[in-house]
């Protein structure tokens, strides 16, 4: 690695006061709310342990723990988002962080409401076998009253903290986007079309990161489906995990490497997946005729993730098409202006390309790279002459 590249990487971690405050704030939020969530989980497990649950009750309790785990994962996912955004000076991702935090707030609200249902109905047909001597064997509601009095204030505190932090984060994000904006325009040239192509590509990358979280979280929720009685087979669960992972890897690779035909395949896969998300949303929310409703305890969570995923995938398809069209027109950003390690140094990732080779059979990407190299050399020669 050259000295210029080394200095560039050092400059990236030479955070401004604003960047440091934002990063520390996100980390503190994750730590504090995780501690509160751990206490909620602890009380929940102790509450459930006072009963012998039937298979459906076990599935509901397992689902509840998964929802808590997803919430904790979302907190540290935000930490990764802000670190990545600061490292790449990514204004788009900073805005996405605010949106993600608001979605976390909605999730916390659903979790509070759904938790009440799980506590009321999840132990309804369970056998009361208290393991804690403080509970009377004649009062099956004693554990519920005891643990609810401890869990509910914690859950209200979590919702309150995220609400306040969402407003604070929105302000900090606004300030960071102003700070990052001029630096990115300095790295990439002043051509409005190039800047627009860069923005579209950055939005697409950010959307794929959001897709990873929401598709992965939905797949996790299918784990207890057999116990609860979802209309989902083991094969479907495996396919969601496998094809979800495969599709997301293809999407990220096609965008990062600016491979337009692979991106076209991703557009097709994403478009087909919209059918599945819409189908699952309908089946989960259809009224049941048999009287047994397997989604009674989890419908709100599943609906939240399905609607969010559907909207994200739809927007991802739109920006994928936009980026595909940009590549067809010869607008390549990463290939021409370099990756993160040589952006500030003004390097080119294709310095080894033989510029004397005939241009008859070169691709649009290669042509864009060579045109940029010619401009850089002309600027260098002009500077030497001066």
Percent of the chain with pLDDT over 90: 35
pTM of the model: 0.80
Kindly list the domain boundaries of the chain, sorted by start residue.
15-181, 190-331, 339-385
Using an 8 Å Cβ cutoff, are 29 and 161 in contact? yes
| pLDDT average, residue stretch 63-85 | 91
Q: Which CA distances in Å does 223 have to 40, 217, 229? A: 21, 11, 11
Average pLDDT, the chain: 80
> Which of 334 and 356 is assigned the larger pLDDT?
334
Copy the structure tokens of residue 222.
């299918």
Q: What tens digit of pLDDT does each residue of 114-133 get?
A: 777 777 776 777 888 888 88
Q: In which band, very low, low, confident or very high, does the pLDDT at 341 lie, cut at 50, 70 and 90? A: very low
| pLDDT average, residue stretch 141-152 | 88
Look at residue 371 and tell me whether its pLDDT is greater than 70: no
Using an 8 Å Cβ cutoff, are 173 and 82 in contact? no
Q: What tens digit of pLDDT does each residue of 224-273 get?
A: 777 777 766 777 888 888 888 999 999 999 998 888 999 999 999 999 99
Phi, psi angle pair for 52, to nearest 5°: -100, 105
CB contact set of 180 (below 8 Å; sequence gap of 6+): 89, 90, 91, 94
Tell me the helices (H) and strands (E) count for the chain, helix number first: 12, 2
- For position 278, what pLDDT does the model report? 96
Look at residue 383 and tell me whether its pLDDT is greater than 60: no
- For position 370, what pLDDT does the model report? 55
> Which of 6 and 204 is assigned the larger pLDDT?
204
Copy the structure tokens of residue 255.
């965008």
Question: Which residues are bridge partners to 127 per DSSP?
Answer: 52
Look at residue 87 and tell me whether its pLDDT is greater than 70: yes
CB contact set of 318 (below 8 Å; sequence gap of 6+): none
Copy the structure tokens of residue 174.
């606004």
Q: In which band, very low, low, confident or very high, does the pLDDT at 14 lie, cut at 50, 70 and 90? A: low
């Amino acid at each position: 690695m050259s000295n210029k590249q080394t200095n560039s990487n050092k400059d990236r971690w030479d955070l401004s006061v604003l960047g440091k405050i934002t990063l520390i704030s996100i980390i503190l939020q994750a730590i504090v709310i995780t501690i509160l969530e751990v206490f909620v989980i602890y009380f929940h497990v102790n509450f459930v342990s006072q009963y012998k649950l039937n298979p459906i009750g076990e599935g509901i309790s397992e689902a509840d723990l998964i929802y808590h785990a997803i919430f904790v994962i979302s907190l540290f996912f935000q930490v990764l988002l802000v670190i990545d955004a600061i490292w790449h000076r990514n204004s788009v991702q900073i805005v996405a962080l605010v949106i993600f935090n608001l979605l976390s707030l909605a999730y916390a609200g659903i979790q509070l409401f759904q938790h009440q249902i799980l506590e009321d109905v999840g132990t309804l047909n369970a056998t009361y076998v208290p393991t804690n001597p403080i509970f009377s064997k004649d009062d099956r509601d004693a554990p519920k009253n005891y643990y609810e009095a401890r869990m509910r204030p914690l859950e209200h505190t979590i919702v309150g903290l995220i609400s306040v932090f969402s407003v604070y984060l929105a302000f900090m994000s606004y300030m960071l986007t102003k700070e990052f904006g001029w630096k990115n325009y300095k790295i990439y040239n002043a051509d409005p079309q190039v800047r627009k192509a860069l923005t579209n590509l950055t939005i697409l990358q950010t959307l794929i990161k959001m897709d990873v979280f929401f598709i992965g979280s939905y797949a996790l929720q299918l784990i207890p489906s057999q116990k609860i009685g979802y209309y989902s087979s083991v094969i479907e669960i495996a396919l969601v995990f496998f094809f979800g992972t495969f599709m997301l890897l293809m999407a990220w690779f096609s965008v990062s490497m600016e491979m337009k035909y692979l991106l076209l395949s991703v557009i097709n896969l994403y478009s087909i997946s919209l059918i599945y998300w819409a189908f699952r949303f309908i089946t989960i929310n259809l009224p049941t005729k048999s009287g047994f409703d397997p989604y009674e305890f989890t419908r709100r969570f599943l609906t939240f993730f399905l609607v969010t995923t559907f909207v994200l995938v739809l927007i991802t398809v739109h920006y994928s098409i936009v980026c595909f069209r940009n590549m067809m027109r010869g607008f390549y950003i990463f290939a021409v202006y370099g990756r993160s390690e040589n952006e500030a140094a003004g390097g080119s990732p294709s310095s080894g390309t033989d510029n004397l080779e005939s241009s008859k059979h070169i691709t649009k990407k290669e042509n864009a790279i060579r045109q940029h190299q010619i401009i850089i050399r002309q600027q260098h020669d002009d500077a030497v002459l001066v």
